Amino acid sequence: MARHGGRGWYGRVLAAAVGVTALAAATSVWTAQAGPVDGQHSARPAAPGSGTGRAPVSADIAHASDHGAQGVNITIDDGPDPIWTPQVLQVLRENGVKATFCMVGTQAQAHPDLVKAVVAAGHRLCDHTVSHDTTMDTKSHSYQSRQILDAERMITKASGGVRPLYYRAPGGAFTPYSRHLAASRGMRPLGWNADSKDFERPGADAISATVKNEIPHGPTILFHDAGGDRSQTVAALRELLPWLKQQGYSFGFPVR
């Protein structure tokens, strides 16, 4: 569920991030050991990013598209869902569009076939934490670490080994610590510019109108494929994807 996309929030986060390098160096985070993916893992302390085999990326919150000024990024949150994710995938396939799926760890664990279908279709994965706690910015570093790293492990296992390339905080609840931890794991923090408000289920026409009004503000559009009835989202995507093409937009991925 959307709270904010990170642009206004980012200014506050940046101010709070003074000395975060020292914080990251001094603070241990939890690195998952081999074992069942159950959200409660054995762990050992490790420096952020150590032993991941992944090059760190920028800890700044991404909004831009890798397709440049006329690029848009379709992002789909909170799934996968056995009813709505296949329908979203079908609409994307019909329009030749690739998207970024921000998956909740428990959902990925429950529906690995859908995670694999997302990857097989050429879409990208994003870590959306284990339990979608929109208050996690108020929680301890150890709690934030477990939410991010356990979800990364769940999604990677469900996908058959494909790791998420981004991290999106639930409701935009980023912290300097969570951003730097995710970046050290090779997951770029991901915001949004245009909130479709589809989570509120205002009707497909209202969702489409909101996106059309918001897209001048930036390229990354937020939709959902879980958390309730997403038939309005599917219908809105059917209208919006061709409309965006008609406006001269191309579909890309968030910058890394």
Catalytic residue numbers read 77, 224
**All residues at 6 or more sequence positions from 150 whose CB lies less than 8 Å from its CB, including other chains:** 32, 37, 39, 41, 105, 130
* SS3 (DSSP) at 189: strand
Sign of CA dihedral 62, 66, 70, 71: negative
* Residue 179: C-alpha distances to residues 66, 160, 174, 186 (Å): 20, 25, 7, 11
Q: CA 240, CA 73: separation in Å to the nearest integer?
A: 13
Question: Residue 180's closest CA among 17, 7, 1?
Answer: 17
* SS3 (DSSP) at 71: strand
Q: CA 70, CA 167: separation in Å to the nearest integer?
A: 24
Q: CA 170, CA 25: separation in Å to the nearest integer?
A: 25
Question: Residue 172's closest CA among 196, 186, 199, 191?
Answer: 191
Helix, strand, coil abundance in the chain, percent, nearest 5: 45, 15, 40
Q: CA 158, CA 130: separation in Å to the nearest integer?
A: 13
